[in-house]
Every structure is written in structure tokens, then in C-alpha cells.
A and B are shown apart, each in its own frame.
Chain A
Amino acid sequence: MMNRNFKIYLGVGLMALYCLFPIYFLVLYSFEPSEAAYHSPPVFYPIAFTFSNYTGVFKSIPLARYALNSIIVATSATFLTLLFGSMAAYGVSVLKFRGRDLFLNSLILLGFFPAATMIFPIYKMFSDINLLNNYLALILPYTVGGLPLTTWVMATYFENIPKDLLDAASVDGLSIGGTYAKIMIPLSLPALSTVAILDFIAFWNEFIYALTFMPDSNMRTVTVGISLISGRFTYQYPWGQIIAAALMVTIPLVIMVFVAQEKIISGLTAGAVKG
């Protein structure tokens, strides 16, 4: 038995190494002067210690401004997608109507379409109505991008809320809108917060829309912003800064993981499958 346990731990150890090594390596290099990258053989342990990469990032790009843009866009889009998604889910799951399967299935279907396929038509539309470089240029399409998952998850959640509760609400004289706001939403806070986290992460990390719809340098989001720290050729890249910036943009997400790891995992594995 000892022998078997040992094998399992060896396997798990290798796997952790595979996943964590790149991260260890990054954190290490983010505190090393840029010359560290030129060491041969490579350095696997700290030799010098400096914050200059982190401070340097703020000199190379307006990271604080980018972070503000990202926060505005991701928060607004998360709010809108939760609002509209939960409304649609309520419509689909509680108010039975003909064509509900068609509505839900076409929504799910669209969820599978890569956002990038729609990029030119949306770009054209935004440039025609002068909406490029406006926060709305990202908030609106992100909201659409979040709708399929949000609606799907919320509809399933609503269907598991006991019907007696809804009957009681209508006996008490609550309207359909009142039931949604006063009963459904408070009851589904766990599911809502899970979806909110997943949506936020997706919006925070989005690249192709942010790159295309926000050409103005002041309007960039962090994910696009960090891709701009570079030199003409790779050997001129400020590697220390790139790595420090890459680590910094994941901070909000890492905090979320620490606060709500269980929620995120349950959300990501939401595609439960019947045997």
C-alpha cells in the first residue's frame, strides 16, 4: 500500500510541477533584474531582488488607467448580463410558453459561436454610429456574450425552486414582476454570484473585441495594454516588466479565487452530465 500511495503522490507532484512551475518561474523573474533572463544555464532560484520591474510597468504603460477601463467595462457588463439573463431565465422557466425550447436552444447555440466571427460587422456598426472608443462598445457585446451561460444556468436554477413558493406569492397578491424581484432574485443569490464571477473573469480576460473596438490608447483594457509592452525584437523585450505586468493583471482574479474557489469550481463544472 505504501508503494501505491507513493506512486500517486509522485504523479500528483509531477502534475503540480507542470502547472505551478511556470508560475514559480514568473514570480521569480518578476523580482529579478531583466539581465536574469540572459543567464545560461537558467536561474531557478532568487539571486537578486528588485521591485524595478513593477515600478517600470507604470512608466511604460498607464496601467492604472487600463485597470480602471477594465473595471468599468467588466463590472457594467457583468451587471447587465445578470439582469437581462436572469429576466430571460425567469421568463423561460416560470412562465411556460410555446417556443420556449426554441428560445433556450437558440441561445445556447449562439453561446458556442466564437465572438470573433462577429467582429467585423460589429466594428462596422460601431464605427458608423461613432461608438468606437466608448465604454459601451465593449459593455454591450460583452453583455451579449455572457447571456447564453447566464440564462442557461439561471433557468436551470429557477426550475428547481419549489412551485408552492410561487403559488403562495401569487396568493399574497404579488405580481409576476414582484415575484421576480422579491422572491426569485433573493432565493437565487448563490447561483447569481457564481455566474457573476465567471462572467467577470471572462470579460476581464477578453482580448479581440477590446483590441479592435478601443483603438484609442487611453481606452485600452489591461489585457490589451500588457500586450503593448514590447521592443522591436524579442531580445529587446523588457521581459521583467512584461512578466510583472502579466502577474499584476491576474491579481483581481486570484483574489476572487481565494474568496470563492468553491463557487468558481462549481460554476465551471456546471455542465453536469446525465448517464
Chain B
Amino acid sequence: MSAKTKFLLIFLLPSLIFLGIFTYYPIFISVKYSLTRYNMLSPKPVFIGIQNYIKLFKNPVFWQVLKNNIIYGLGVIPTTMLLALFFAILINETKRFKALFELGLFYPLLIPMTAAAMIWVFMYDPDLGIIDKFLGLFGIPNIGWLGDARYSLLALIIMAIWKNVGYFMLIYLAGLQNIPDYLYEEATIEGAGWLKKHLYVTWPLIGPTNIFVFIISIIQSFKVFTQVYLMTEGGPGYSSNVLIYYTYEHAFKFWNIGMASALTTIMILFLLLLVLIIFGVFEKRITYSVG
């Protein structure tokens, strides 16, 4: 073995060991347990083939949870992206107080999700909450967001938009710097107003940033857990339950490890597929650099 190879091994080994123990091995374990009956009544895993998966696919709750995840994504992603782009354009055209505005959008991102969740529970409260009190000023009766199956998922969506807009705004702001000024000048000479200028210059040229933000958002929308755990516990009923929370419930509430592992495996396969598609389609367009 050459000296170079030896060094290479030493440099990569720590990462490989860590990934092996905390990523590859857990994936292997999940797949293994997903094929077993392993719960409170059967404390030792017993091989049962794909029965857990069959049971899951036959369970309407599983489909509802999946649907919730998709609704959550559809609710959060386009709104956040549009708002973030709009804010980025505005900030880009502002001369004074730029840093202050940036910080303002940035703060929600820094707050731990736990703290943000507690705060929003307070704001959504039907009796004490600022939101229902505010709507009350316009004669709208109390909604009681988190306690109402019709609004609980929407409440989580609104909060997620609030928390994420700042991050995406920063990414768009960086993207806007790459659009040359002369294009805007030409557009102005051609007589384009504010809206037209951004529709015909900004929108097509911000495309690559859009793709990047879109990818991050999709993956983020599957990571949602903390706010569900703290704000709604997936309820009322299953109205705001999402995949990760549903898996967590199976593992740590119902102690049904076989089923939790099947859910984990499904999620891993799904995300793997998603990421592979994304990489296949967009790989050449994404690079990573720090200024």
C-alpha cells in the first residue's frame, strides 16, 4: 500500500465509520425489522415477510397521513417560494435599512423550532391567542386553529411559511446579484413597468435558484416533526399527522417496532427515489460554494 493510499484511508476513515454506524447500519436494521412481527405482544422479532407493508397499505390512516404530507408540501412550498422571491426583490431595491430587514426575515429561522412552536400555540389559542383576537376585530368568530380538524394542518402550514421565508429570501437575494443590471436598464428603456420588468427579466433568470429552493423545500417538507409533536400531536384525529410523526408514534407510543420499521423503510426508499430523480435531472446545475 502506498503512503498516499494509507493517508487517504486515515483521512476518510472517521467519516466512513460514523456513516456506517449511524446511517448504513440503521437502514439495514430498519429493513430487517420491517419484515418481522416485533411489538409489545411479540417482544422478540418474528419473521413474517411483507405482512407489515400489506397491513400498512390496507390502512386508510396511512394514506391519510401520506396525503397530509403532500397537502403540507403543496401548501408550504409555492407560497414560501413566491413570498421569498417577492421579498428578495423588494430588499434588493431598497437602499436604506437593508441589514435590518434582512435580520428581521432571518430571526424566525434562528429560533429553535421548539420555541417557535410554543409561541405559535400561544398565538393560535382560541381564547388567549392574538390571531383569533385580531380576526375578531373584523367580526370573524374564533377559529380555534389547532383544536379543529379542518384547520390544524393549515395552522402548521402558515407557521412553516413564517419560519422558512427568511432562508429562501436570502438564497434568492444571492441569486438576484447574478442578474446583470443592464437587462433591467434595457427593460426600463423599452417601457416596461415594475411588474413586467420582473416578469420578463427576473423570473426567467432566477430559474436555477428556483430549482435549488424547490429541491430543498420538498425535502424539508418531509422532515416536519417538531411542530407536529408540540402543537397538535397529529390531531385532532389524524388531521395533522405526517409520516415522520406517524412513524415516531409507532415506535415510541405504540411500541410496534415492526410497523415503525416498515414506515421508515418506505420513507427511505421514497426519499432515495426523490433525491435520485432530482440529482439525475438537475445535477449539472447545482454547485456548492461559500463566499
Contact = CB atoms under 8 A, between A and B. Distances in A.
Q: Do A and B come from one complex?
A: yes
Interface in B27-45: 27, 29-30
A60 to B, nearest CB: 13
Contacts of B267: 114, 117
Contacts of B261: 120
B248 interface: yes
A84 B167 contact: no
Contacts of A87: 11-12, 14-15
Contact of B287 (A103, A151, A195, A274): A274
A269 B84 CA distance: 13
A224 B173 CA distance: 33
B289 to A, nearest CB: 5
Contact of B275 (A112, A121, A249): A112
Contacts of A123: 251
A105 B279 contact: yes
B75 interface: no
A185 interface: no
Interface residues of A, number: 105
A157 B287 CA distance: 12
Interface string A200-228: 01001101100110000000001110110
A72 interface: no
Interface stretch (B47-55, B59-67, B114-122): B114-122
B7 A177 contact: yes
A269 B267 CA distance: 28
Contacts of A68: none
Nearest to A113: B271
B291 interface: yes
B257 to A, nearest CB: 7
Given A42-B130, A116-B223, A257 B22 contact: no
A176 B118 contact: no
Contacts of B182: none
Interface residues of B, number: 105
Contacts of B165: 19
Nearest to A84: B14
B232 interface: no
A69 interface: no
Interface in B116-149: 116-119, 121-123, 125, 127-128, 130, 133-134, 136-137
B114 A227 contact: yes
Interface string A234-246: 1101010011011
A119 interface: yes
Contacts of A223: 112-115
Contacts of B110: 201, 250, 253-254, 257
A268 B290 CA distance: 9
B253 to A, nearest CB: 12
B12 A194 contact: no
Given A12-B94, A107-B15, A120-B257, A141 B22 contact: yes
A186 interface: no
Interface in B275-291: 275, 279, 284-291
B71 interface: no
B207 to A, nearest CB: 8
A144 B291 contact: no
A12 B22 contact: no
A177 B11 CA distance: 9
A160 to B, nearest CB: 8
Given A113-B268, A270-B289, A273-B211, A205 B113 contact: yes
A268 B230 CA distance: 26
Nearest to B137: A41
A242 B114 contact: no
Given A37-B122, A266-B290, A144 B19 contact: yes
A246 B118 contact: yes
Nearest to B208: A273
Nearest to B102: A265
A121 B25 contact: yes
Interface of A: 4, 7-9, 11-12, 15-16, 18-20, 22-23, 25-26, 37-38, 40-42, 83-85, 87-88, 90-92, 95, 97, 103, 105, 107, 109-110, 112-114, 116-125, 140-141, 143-144, 147, 151-153, 156-157, 160, 175-177, 180, 190-191, 194-195, 201, 204-205, 207-208, 211-212, 222-224, 226-227, 234-235, 237, 239, 242-243, 245-247, 249-250, 253-254, 257, 261, 265-275
Nearest first, the 4 closest Cβ-Cβ pairs linking A and B are A121-B26, A246-B115, A91-B11, A205-B112
Interface of B: 3-4, 7-8, 10-12, 14-15, 18-19, 21-23, 25-27, 29-30, 86-87, 90-91, 93-94, 97, 99-119, 121-123, 125, 127-128, 130, 133-134, 136-137, 162, 165-167, 170-171, 173-175, 178, 194, 205, 208-209, 211-212, 216, 219, 222-223, 225-226, 229-230, 244, 247-248, 251-252, 257, 260-261, 264, 267-268, 271-272, 275, 279, 284-291
